[in-house]
Structure 1
Amino acid sequence: MDRSFPEILKKLHEIEIDYADGEGIDFEPFDEFYSEEETSDWIKAWTGNDTLDGNEYLIYGQDGTGGYVAFWCVRKNADLLEQPIVFFGSEGEVGVVAQSFSDYVWLFANGIGPYEAVAYPDLERPKSQDFIRFATEYAPSSKSTASQIVEKAKAEFPDFEGIIDRLCQ
């Protein structure tokens, strides 16, 4: 799998994320994907399953507690930016956040990060003008509310949480 960090993801990560003392987006972006070794160590620790290698995940950010955000490379022959985005919380929270990168950027435009999308998918927050500009430029056809984005992702991947539960030991 190509582990090159997409330029558009780098551009997204250049936008300042305001945590706003817990009232904003809880997300700390990375400048590169976790290495294969780091990902393997993480998935084994997170699930308690030493048989996993985590190769289907490209981790590129975390929340303040250490929960990870990743592309879940589950669509055969699809571009990386067309892969779903998932969240693994430090306290066992897990969920599909968005169907693709285009949907994902609209979460941020709606003032919602990956953690909030899993924990509080119907949360209403002030919109972020910087993220709206980015989403409008790079993903204009994906404009949606945060709850619609999460609902679409869960509808396409309804068993993601079950898949992960079955991997845990």
Structure 2
Amino acid sequence: MSNWDTTFPPLLRKLHQLEFDYDDGDGYDFEPYQSFFPAEENASWFKAWTGNAAIDGSQFRVFGQDGTGGYAAFWLVLPDQPIEKQPVVFLGSEGEKGVVALNLDEYLWLLADGVGPYEAVAYPSPDSKPNAQFTLFAQENSGIAKLSAAEVLARANEAYPSFSEQIDSLCR
């Protein structure tokens, strides 16, 4: 884990300058970080989360959390692809888990539709509440055409239908 980089890609750093307003439960339950966990902290968290001391969670790069301590992360499963092209996942404090976007571009559209990583996993069909600030950000920064939250989630679940089972297999 010596080559571990905690530096965010520029677009994620720019995204996390926006305000993720909780809005008394009607907004995003998300607290953005300014850097990825260091390797040791990442390993400690993943071992505790899974109950498995034999794994280090090195396939995840945590970039934020919800109010209960669940983590949003990139899941590094695509060899030779930059982190921005990796799937975005949520691993909740109560065992919730799921792929919420195929990549950072699609994640921007999920946020634009008013759905954060926690909401994407906790509610099978989260309410769409378009957010003007995040919509403008996605329009200016996403390299893909607009997608609804439902489309982002359907694409993520279609591409990675066995994510939950893969994570469950690591848990003790």
TM range (shorter): over 0.9
Letter in 2 for 1:167: L
- Contact 1:121–1:147 (CA<8 Å) still a contact in 2? no
Question: In structure 1, how many angstroms separate the alpha carbons of the residues matched to 2:9 and 2:145?
Answer: 19
Deviation sequence 1:41-100 (CA, Å, 0-9, x none): 001000000000111110010000000000000000001100000000000000001000
Deviation sequence 1:94-150 (CA, Å, 0-9, x none): 000100000001111000000001111422232111101110011152411111101
Question: In structure 2, how many angstroms separate the alpha carbons of the residues matched to 1:152 and 1:142?
Answer: 14
Q: Secondary structure of 1:66's partner?
A: coil
Determine the structure 2 residue equivalent to 1:124: 127
1:95 aligns with 2:98: yes
Determine the structure 2 residue equivalent to 1:73: 76
1:16 aligns with 2:19: yes
Question: In structure 1, how many angstroms separate the alpha carbons of the residues matched to 2:127 and 2:61?
Answer: 28
- Any unmatched runs of 5+ in structure 2? none
- Any unmatched runs of 5+ in structure 1? none
Determine the structure 1 residue equivalent to 2:59: 56
The structure 2 residue matched to 1:86, chosen from 89, 94, 97, is: 89
1:153 aligns with 2:136: no
Judge which range, 120-129 or 146-155, deviates more.
120-129
CA RMSD of aligned residues (A): 1.1
Which segments of structure 1 move beyond 4 Å, counting only runs of 4 or more?
none
Q: Secondary structure of 2:144's partner?
A: helix
> Could you say if the C-alpha distance between residues 2 and 45 of structure 1 is closer, same or farther in structure 2, counting changes exceeding 3 Å?
closer
1:138 aligns with 2:125: no
Letter in 2 for 1:55: S
C-alpha displacement at 1:2, in angstroms?
A: 5.4
Letter in 2 for 1:106: W
Determine the structure 2 residue equivalent to 1:40: 43
TM-score by length of 2: 0.95
1:110 aligns with 2:113: yes
Alignment length (residue pairs): 169
The structure 1 residue matched to 2:166, chosen from 163, 166, 169, is: 163
